[in-house]
Chains A and B, each alone.
Chain A
């Protein structure tokens, strides 16, 4: 089946920004309106071109059941992403995609699911949450464990509450807080110890900074979840997005083409190699 990405892998489609919402001090969610439906699978990414600045890989953070709207949540960390975050309604961006592998949501049906997110790593997991909620009855216990730096950097705060009401065990922790914060304080891996995460038919999706994923995987395997049931989303410097240029090569894998979502078992031998 030909996908949108196959149709023009290197030529961007020009889309207009239709909405822009401030999520955090440095993080914005942009909505774009594709000319035709833009189907994607949870965990996939687009290459987003900002005229005059360049192109950057951004995960899709919208609802896969709403392909008429393309949603990206972006943190302003450099000139390109700062310009991207500043794109107001009406601004035109170049879009290539969707690219890459996806969270194995369908394969997880029938069992429990634990999603572990750190920082902006919640954005690539949000489509998986939407997908699970759309067919909540197909899954057993669903647990979302989310760690952020501070209470001010908790992403999608209102949605987290909605997801909790919709049947997901949502637990949030922050690394540091003052006494006004009523929630958990501590690293996200501590939530794995507290939540009812059990082995058996449990699938785990982990997304966040690599060091956080390393500790999270370690905690999950201590709970008896095998590494082929743990998926992680990797991030490297993606340029072509189709495995031509090699910028995102990770050992024998290309993150853009073979990832970004991998079964941990497939890449665990690469995980501790420094400078890779």
Chain B
């Protein structure tokens, strides 16, 4: 069976991390599976964890009164789920639910924050990676706002 460290080399977010830093990150992770339909994150809960998706698909959403659960984005294999663990007040902002059975690496956010505080080079390397994920999601969200299919061909 592959170790968490080995599995991280297959995850785009961590694959090019310095090996020593990758081992530090792996020390805060464990394997976690979710059945289809299972809640992974609930809005408002403590943001103790984040997830790297190895297999399956997860829907990020929010409950809108009188509209029900609205899916904002789906995250699939190789994607990362959750960044609220990085910033106070460490509260989950959106719901996340497994659309299909999902195999993940679950990370203890508090554990990783402590390691980042102790090793700013690791902290900077991780922050750059999460900033890149956030920038890509922000750009995608901007395009979604344009509603490009509304009246176009």
Residues of A within 8 A of B59 (CB): 179, 185
B131 within 8 A of A: no
Contacts of B79 in A (CB 8 A): 194
A135 at the B interface (CB under 8 A): no
Stretch at the interface among B24-32, B43-51, B69-77: B69-77
Q: From B67, which residue of chain A is reached at the shortest CB distance?
A: A178
Q: Mark B78-117, 1 if CB is under 8 A from A, else 0.
A: 1100000000000000000101100000000000000000
CB <8 Å contact, A184 and B74: yes
User: What is the CA–CA distance of A149 and B143 in the complex, to the nearest angstrom?
Assistant: 12
Q: Which residue of B has the minimal Cβ distance to A211?
A: B148
Q: How many residues of A are in contact with the other chain, CB < 8 A? A: 34
Q: Are A182 and B153 closer than 8 Å at their CB atoms? A: no
A178 surroundings in chain B (CB, below 8 A): 67-71
- Tell me the bound Cα distance from A210 to B61 in angstroms: 28
Q: Which of A47-55, A99-107, A117-125 contacts B (4 or more CB under 8 A)?
A: A117-125
Q: How far is the CA of A43 from the CA of B59 in the complex (A)?
A: 35
Docked pose: A215 CA to B147 CA in angstroms: 14
Closest chain B CB from A151 CB (angstroms):
10
Interface residues of B in 45-68 (CB under 8 A from A): 57, 59, 61, 67-68
A124 (CB) vs chain B CBs: closest residue: B153
Is B134 part of the contact surface with A, judged by Cβ < 8 Å?
no
Residue interface bits A179-215, CB-to-B below 8 A is 1, else 0:
1011111110110011000000000000011111001
User: Do the beta carbons of A179 and B68 come within 8 Å of each other?
Assistant: yes
**B-chain residues with CB within 8 Å of residue A194 when the two chains form the complex:** 76-79
> In the complex, which residues of chain A have a beta carbon less than 8 angstroms from the beta carbon of B143?
187, 189, 211-212, 215
Q: Does A75 contact B (CB under 8 A)?
A: yes
Separation in Å of the A248 CB from the closest CB of chain B? 14
A-B pairs with CB below 8 Å: how many?
89
User: With A178-B68, A179-B59 given, is the CB distance from A186 to B153 under 8 Å?
Assistant: no
How extensive is the interface on chain B, given as a class?
A: 20 to 34
Chain A's interface: helix, strand, loop or mixed, by majority?
Answer: mixed
**Interface residues in B110-126 (C-beta closer than 8 Å to A):** none
Structural contact, A149 and B153, CB atoms closer than 8 A:
no
Q: Is B135 an interface residue (CB 8 A)?
A: no
Q: How far is the CA of A175 from the CA of B152 in the complex (A)?
A: 14
A149 with B69, Cβ < 8 A, contacts A190-B140, A194-B77 known: no
Pick from B71, B73, B97, B150 the residue with the most CB of A within 10 Å: B71
Of B74, B79, B151, chain A has the most CB atoms within 10 Å of the CB of B74
Q: Is B146 an interface residue (CB 8 A)?
A: yes
Contact A147-B149, Cβ < 8 Å, known A179-B69, A187-B143: yes
B68 contact set on A, CB distance < 8 A = 178-179
Judging by beta carbons under 8 Å apart, are B77 and A209 in contact? no
B153 and A187: CB pair below 8 A? no
**B153 & A120 in contact (Cβ 8 Å cutoff):** yes
Query: Which of B67, B73, B148, B152 is within 8 Å of A185, CB to CB?
Result: B73
7 residue pairs from A and B, CB less than 8 Å apart = A118-B148, A149-B149, A176-B70, A184-B74, A208-B152, A212-B148, A212-B152
Excluding A187-B140, A187-B143, 19 further A-B contacts by CB distance (< 8 Å) are A119-B148, A147-B149, A175-B144, A175-B147, A175-B149, A176-B71, A176-B72, A176-B144, A178-B69, A178-B70, A178-B71, A179-B68, A183-B74, A184-B76, A186-B140, A209-B152, A211-B146, A212-B143, A235-B153
Interface of B toward A, CB cutoff 8 Å? 57, 59, 61, 67-74, 76-79, 97, 99-100, 136, 139-140, 143-144, 146-153
List the 3 shortest-distance A-B pairs measured between CB atoms, nearest first: A209-B152, A119-B149, A179-B69
